[in-house]
């Protein structure tokens, strides 16, 4: 399993960095989030809804991830720099109030990292399930150079329902063709001990349509281009994107990990109602069932003096596969086809 001490350190440093930056936690206080979550009364939000969302059900927050500013966000969608900053801030706030952490079984991860990704294609819609539930992905060990190390990466998405209506009204429809994929590596300066989130937003130029497939390597390439001045990321980009690819599957452990969590709301008698962060992070282990199968099988296979069956015990390698479903086979379901434990006759009889 991912080293728990390293994971705890990554969580602690992420919390510390978001708190130190302060900007987004001040904007999205617990009271402000409750207003978005329950019944927005802000004149700015009401104007935003009246102008652009009058024919649809308004959505201001998913889980604990805010989709608009508490005072309305018309200008947000019209300024690229502000929009990029807000996408990252939205993911940070969404994680702060939920704190989901994805750990990976060691034996399963070894197989995952060796799985060929050259034929892996994804669509922007496959990332939608992370809206409202950003995930912190700690690395198995920090990726370090002489002066900095990367402990893990905060991963999430940002998107606004019916955003095309807003953008089209101002002639900015091409600004957001799809939901943004947000990556925030957690970096720590080895000399000063100071941490920072090295934010990058992916997908704006890659996905022309929500269901248009893109080779996974294109996302990796864009990330490396954005991180060209951060040499540490080159050391851990394969691990990061292998884990992200697994989180795009629909296995039961992933479903538990990315299910949108309801924020924790407290209602004191004489104080404002507000959302508060959890006391502890939500650690979830990925691939435990398969990792356990590998260990059980390896123990049995090693106990045999010789394989007497017609087939030598071995593991048939894993591979990625995208299944097309739906009437027009338009829906894509990504699966990591697990390695097959091929047993000899002796092992099969147990």
Looking at residue 341, its pLDDT comes to 56
CA 74 to chain centre: 27
Q: How far is CA 311 from CA 302, 315, 316, 317, 319, in A?
A: 15, 11, 12, 16, 21
Q: Cα(first)–Cα(last) distance of the chain, in Å? A: 28
Torsion sign, CA atoms 253, 248, 117, 1: negative
Q: How far is CA 147 from CA 15, 223, 342, in A?
A: 22, 21, 46
Cα angle value 278/264/127 (rounded, 5°): 85
Beta-bridge partner residues of 29: none
Looking at residue 284, its pLDDT comes to 95
Looking at residue 178, its pLDDT comes to 47
Give me the residues of the chain with pLDDT under 50, please: 170-178, 344-350
Residue 161, helix vs strand vs coil: coil
Residue 243: closest CA among 184, 155, 316: 155
How many residues does the structure list for the chain?
Answer: 350
pLDDT digits (tens, 9 = 90+) for 8-19: 999 999 999 999
């Amino acid at each position: 399993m991912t080293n728990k001490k390293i994971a705890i350190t990554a969580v602690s440093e992420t919390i510390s960095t978001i708190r130190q930056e302060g900007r987004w936690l001040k904007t999205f206080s617990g009271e402000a989030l409750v207003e978005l979550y329950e019944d927005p009364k802000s004149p700015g939000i009401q104007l935003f809804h009246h102008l652009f969302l009058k024919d649809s059900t308004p959505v201001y927050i998913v889980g604990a991830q805010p989709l608009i500013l508490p005072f309305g966000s018309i200008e947000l969608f019209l300024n690229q720099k502000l929009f990029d900053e807000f996408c990252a801030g939205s993911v940070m706030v969404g994680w702060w109030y939920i704190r989901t952490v994805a750990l990976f079984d060691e034996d399963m991860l070894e197989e995952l990292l060796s799985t060929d990704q050259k034929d892996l294609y994804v669509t922007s819609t496959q990332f939608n399930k992370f809206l409202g539930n950003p995930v912190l992905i700690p690395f198995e060990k920090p990726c370090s150079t002489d002066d900095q190390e990367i402990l893990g990466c905060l991963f999430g998405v940002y998107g606004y329902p019916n955003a095309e209506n807003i953008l089209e009204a101002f002639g900015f429809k091409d600004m957001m063709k799809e939901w943004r994929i947000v990556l925030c590596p957690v970096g720590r300066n080895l000399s000063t001990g100071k941490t920072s989130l090295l934010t990058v937003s992916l997908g704006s130029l890659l996905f022309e349509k929500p269901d248009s497939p893109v080779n996974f390597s294109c996302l990796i390439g864009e990330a490396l281009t954005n991180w060209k001045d951060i040499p540490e990321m080159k050391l851990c980009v394969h691990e990061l994107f292998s884990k992200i690819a697994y989180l795009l599957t629909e296995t039961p452990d992933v479903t538990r990990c990315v299910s949108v969590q309801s924020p924790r709301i407290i209602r004191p008698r004489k104080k404002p109602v507000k959302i508060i962060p959890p006391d502890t992070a939500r650690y979830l282990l990925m691939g435990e069932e398969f990792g356990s199968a590998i260990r059980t099988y390896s123990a049995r296979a090693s106990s045999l003096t010789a394989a007497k069956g017609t087939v030598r015990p071995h593991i048939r390698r894993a591979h990625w596969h995208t299944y097309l479903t739906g009437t027009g086979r338009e829906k894509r379901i990504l699966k990591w086809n697990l390695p097959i434990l091929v047993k000899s006759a002796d092992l099969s009889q147990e």
